[in-house]
Amino acid sequence: MKKLGAIILSAVLTAVLASGCANNTENSGNSASGGNTAGGTIKIGADLELTGGQASFGDSVSKGAKLAVDEINAAGGVLGKQLELIVADNASKSEEATQAAQKLITSDKVVTIIGASTSTNTLGIVPVATEKKIPLVSVGATNPKVTVDERSGNVNEYVFRAAFIDPFQGEVMANFALDSLKAKTAVIYTDTSSDYSKGLQKFFEETFKGKGGEVLSQESYQQKDSDFKAVLTRIKAANPDVIYLPGYYEEVGKIVKQAREMGITVPFLGGDGWDSPQLVEIAGAAALDNTFMSNHYSSEDTAHEVTSFVDAYKAANGGAVPDGMAALGYDALKLVADAITRAGEADPAKITEALAATKDLQLATGKITLNDKHDPVKAAVVLKFVDGKQTFETKVNP
Amino acid sequence: MEYFIQQLINGISVGSIYALIALGYTMVYGIIKLINFAHGDVFMVGSFIGLYSAKYLAAAGLPPVVVLLLSLIISMTISACLGISIERLAYKPLRKSTRIAALITAIGVSFLLEYTGVLILGPQAKGFPDIMDKKQVHLFGSSIQVESNQIMILLTTIILMLVLQYIVRYTKTGKAMRAVSFDVEAARLMGINVDRTISATFAIGSALAAAAGVIFGMTYNSVDPLMGVMPGLKAFVAAVLGGIGSIPGALVGGLLLGTVETEISSLGFSSWRDGVAFAVLILILIFRPSGLFGKNVREKV
């Protein structure tokens, strides 16, 4: 029987090893050759979630970024050269994001990388970008430690971002819960496998407690979980005024659906990780009633820069309405293009300098200034779900 | 107390799904001593077939119960065929080679199914249609809630389990299966068609996984090509826990694992859930290396 035990053990180990190094699919848009400016093009890499749990984000970002590239190229390009976007897949995994970035830098010779869509995956790219001295503009990373090294407290010289950071997002939702929803108690239900979720949880809790709210309990789940009834039964017994659920759409959809089926009717609040059409597909429109999320922009906003972006995106993507990630992807690329223009040449060091000096740049998600921590200072919106559609609730300035 | 019972009910419904998948592992292991790692992915394929047939049948205007039964039958039939083809194409040529070769092939087949799924269906999760309206039933006027779906899961599991017991105990195929699992060579000498028996085992195991897939989709409303990985691993643990090769063991192992996980989460240690589940496995393997219901057979040297 010892032999059986050994076989089972080796089987488990093999399975774990195999799944660890599986799926190294990289979709490069182009062949890997040529220098920085060969053939009159400037190459910009995108390290995105084309497959895996956050594939919806990567898809939106790449569509937004492609739109920006097309617009810029149609208007004559940057410094008289055409932009070329090279997209690599990171399979929604941090370690694959590292590999994809290495490939973009060493074989595709890009001058700047945009991506990834999430904090965890961006953190996989940061060491590569820093080592190779290539500027990185994260599209959707909202965790503070992406641009500021956690241990030393120094700003990562080559890392920038297009999204606002978690303290602001967590704060906005805590204030919204206290002021608009008149909530006194909350339960926080965090995705412990995600840095983004833990960041939001921390700053929501600080603000909510700081202003007199009470956090009844902290619960956690992990990505790819599918049964949440045990914890939801616990939350139901605690009976909070609101439930803060700072996770990604796939699990959020399942959680909200199961909670509503169990008769939990209190509002769910979340962040920009909810922003995907799949949330509605998984949870269903009815379950999403009485839920709110903070986001980077609202497609219903009537400001000129928003409407022109929404119209162009719809025209390019068969009428699809751009979500927050699409807007951020568009903005990240415009941010890079602006920096290259100001740098005067497509040289990574000069682009880095120019990026750090970005000021009052008008983009689709608002007017952006990058502060000394390379974080944008800009407005957030709170959206409410009505019949499965995001509707504009309120806009909060920093 | 009511809280505890409520969580027990939650646990049983999770455990039933593990149990259905675990049966496939245990049956295949019992017969050809192969841990079929592709089994979790057959579960995924079953779930997707269920999704599309349910969509199509519901659009055709059939009543919900008929839609459910038909999608179960369609999904189980196609998955049974898939199971047989996997066995014929991937495992049969390796029957005379080492066990580890077959095991690695199983992992290969697993990846093949997963990423073919990603290629064809896309990596994103898809919503499963609501076949039947979910209703909450209060037990004996207390606050304990049972969902109609949870009752359906348990009923389906019990019915399939009874059918399986009947097949294994009283039919010719079942007798052949038991004989082959006892001694392949002797069974062959007695005139049993070993190849056909092995195919039948794969067919039954895959059909059960497909049924679990449809139920899983109905309960959790979300299916994706990589959804089989975790439940597959958990069901494998359940099968080992109950004693791999033993059919009642798979049932007990699945239910035990489901309830342990749920009770851990219900006590507020949700991040410890998987850790404790695997610790239970390690403990049982230390004290009963052949699992709860496993036969303690000495290997011949």
Give per-residue pLDDT as tens, B133-158: 777 877 776 778 888 888 888 888 88
Q: What's the pLDDT score for residue A27?
A: 41
Q: Is residue B165 part of a domain?
A: yes
Q: How close, in Å, is residue A304 to chain B by CA atoms?
A: 33
Reply yes or no on whether the pLDDT at B297 is more than 50: yes
Taking only the tens place, the pLDDT of each residue in A119-152 is 999 999 999 999 999 999 999 898 888 999 888 8
Give CA separation, B98 vs A165, A306, B127, B301, in Å: 55, 63, 41, 16
**Nearest CA among A176, A199, A242 for reference residue A395:** A176
pLDDT exceeding 70 applies to what percent of chain B?
97
Q: Is residue B184 part of a domain?
A: yes
Q: What's the pLDDT score for residue B191?
A: 93
Q: Is residue B280 part of a domain?
A: no
What is the interface size between A and B, counted as CB pairs within 8 Å?
Answer: 128
Reply yes or no on whether the pLDDT at B257 is more than 50: yes
Q: What's the pLDDT score for residue A69?
A: 96
Q: What's the pLDDT score for residue A173?
A: 93
Of the candidate ranges A14-23, A90-99, A218-227, A285-294, the one whose mean pLDDT is the lowest: A14-23
pLDDT exceeding 90 applies to what percent of chain B?
54
If one counts the domains in chain B, the total is 1
Residues paired with residue B243 on neighbouring β-strands, in sequence order: none
Taking only the tens place, the pLDDT of each residue in A210-267 is 999 999 999 999 888 888 999 999 999 999 999 999 999 999 999 999 999 888 999 9
Question: Which chain B residue has the Cα nearest residue A281?
Answer: B127
Gap between the terminal Cα atoms of chain B: 52
pLDDT exceeding 90 applies to what percent of chain A?
62
Quick check: B220 and A234 CB within 8 A? Answer: no
Q: How close, in Å, is residue B49 to chain A by CA atoms?
A: 18
Q: Is residue B255 part of a domain?
A: no
CB of A47 less than 8 A from some CB of B: no
Give CA separation, A117 vs A120, A121, A196, A322, A326, in Å: 9, 7, 11, 15, 10
Reply yes or no on whether the pLDDT at B197 is more than 60: yes
Question: Which chain A residue has the Cα nearest residue B13?
Answer: A227
Taking only the tens place, the pLDDT of each residue in B69-99 is 999 999 999 999 999 999 999 999 998 889 8
Reply yes or no on whether the pLDDT at A384 is more than 60: yes
Phi/psi region, residue B81 (left: phi>0; alpha: psi -120 to 50; beta: rest), is alpha
**Nearest CA among B201, B179, B277 for reference residue B26:** B201
Q: What are the structural domains of chain A? A: 38-164+303-378 (3.40.50.2300), 166-295 (3.40.50.2300)
| Residue that has been written with the tokens 């909070």 in this structure | A240
Residue B90 gets which letter from DSSP?
I
HSE (side-chain half, CA atoms, 13 Å) at A395: 13
> What residue type is A271 in one-letter code?
G
Q: Is A7 exposed, middle or buried (0-12, 13-18, 19+ CB in 10 A)?
A: middle
Q: What's the pLDDT score for residue A9?
A: 57
Rounded to whole angstroms, the Cα distance separating A328 from A149 reads 23
Q: A308: which 2 tokens?
A: 């022109």
Reply yes or no on whether the pLDDT at B291 is more than 80: yes
Q: How close, in Å, is residue A211 to chain B by CA atoms?
A: 26
Q: Is residue B256 part of a domain?
A: no
Rounded to whole angstroms, the Cα distance separating A190 from A173 reads 15
- φ, ψ (nearest 5 deg) of residue A47: -105, 95
Quick check: B10 and A233 CB within 8 A? Answer: yes
Rounded to whole angstroms, the Cα distance separating A364 from B8 reads 50
More confident residue, A331 or A302: A331
On chain A, the residues whose CB falls within 8 A of the CB of B298 are: 1
Top mean-pLDDT range of A3-7, A189-193, B124-128: A189-193
> Sign of the CA dihedral B192, B196, B202, B206?
negative
| Predicted complex ipTM | 0.83
Which residue spans within B195-242 are E strands per DSSP? 222-223
SS3 at position B222: strand
Which residue spans within B109-223 are E strands per DSSP? 126-127, 136-138, 145-147, 222-223
Q: What's the pLDDT score for residue B143?
A: 74
pLDDT exceeding 70 applies to what percent of chain A?
90
Reply yes or no on whether the pLDDT at B298 is more than 80: no
Q: B294: which 2 tokens?
A: 């496993």
Asked if B263 and B29 touch (Cβ cutoff 8 Å), the reply is no
- φ, ψ (nearest 5 deg) of residue B176: -60, -40
Query: Cis omega before residue B203 (within 30°)?
Result: no
Q: Is residue B277 part of a domain?
A: no
Give CA separation, A188 vs A16, A38, B279, in Å: 31, 51, 27
Reply yes or no on whether the pLDDT at A87 is more than 70: yes
Quick check: A257 and B233 CB within 8 A? Answer: no
Q: What's the pLDDT score for residue B267?
A: 87
SS3 at position A195: helix
On chain B, the residues whose CB falls within 8 A of the CB of A217 are: 268
State mean pLDDT over A285-298: 91
Which residue spans within chain A are E strands per DSSP? 41-48, 82-89, 112-115, 136-138, 159-161, 185-191, 214-221, 242-244, 268-270, 291-295, 361-363, 366-370, 376-377, 380-386, 389-396
Please give the residue range of the domain that contains residue B55.
9-135+144-227
**Beta strand pairing status for B136-138 and B145-147?**
antiparallel
Q: How far is CA A326 from the centre of its chain?
A: 10
pLDDT band at A287 (very low <50, low <70, confident <90, very high): very high
pLDDT band at B122 (very low <50, low <70, confident <90, very high): confident
B15-44 burial: b if 16+ Cβ within 10 Å, else e: bbbbbbbbbbbbbbbbbbebbbbbbbbbbb
**H or E element in which residue B253 lies:** helix B247-266
> Sign of the CA dihedral A363, A365, A366, A369?
negative
Q: How close, in Å, is residue A99 to chain B by CA atoms?
A: 20
**What's the mean pLDDT when you consider all of chain B?**
89
Reply yes or no on whether the pLDDT at A33 is more than 60: no
Reply yes or no on whether the pLDDT at A23 is more than 60: no
Reply yes or no on whether the pLDDT at A8 is more than 90: no
DSSP A38-66: GGGEEEEEEEE-SSSTTHHHHHHHHHHHH
Reply yes or no on whether the pLDDT at A34 is more than 80: no
Taking only the tens place, the pLDDT of each residue in A96-116 is 999 999 999 999 999 999 989
The residues near B78 (Cβ < 8 Å, ≥ 6 apart) are: B45, B46, B49, B210
Suggest the residue from A7, A218, A226 to mutate for an interface test with chain B (most B CBs closer than 10 A). A226
**What's the mean pLDDT when you consider all of chain A?**
87
Q: Is residue B202 part of a domain?
A: yes
Q: A371: which 2 tokens?
A: 């502060």
Quick check: A253 and B37 CB within 8 A? Answer: no
CB atoms within 10 A of CB A327: 29
Q: A230: which 2 tokens?
A: 């045990």
CB of A152 less than 8 A from some CB of B: no
Residue A321 gets which letter from DSSP?
P
Q: What's the pLDDT score for residue A25?
A: 40
Q: What's the pLDDT score for residue B4?
A: 87
Q: Is residue B154 part of a domain?
A: yes
Q: How close, in Å, is residue A282 to chain B by CA atoms?
A: 5
| Residue that has been written with the tokens 């997707």 in this structure | B48
CB of A188 less than 8 A from some CB of B: no
Rounded to whole angstroms, the Cα distance separating A192 from A221 reads 6
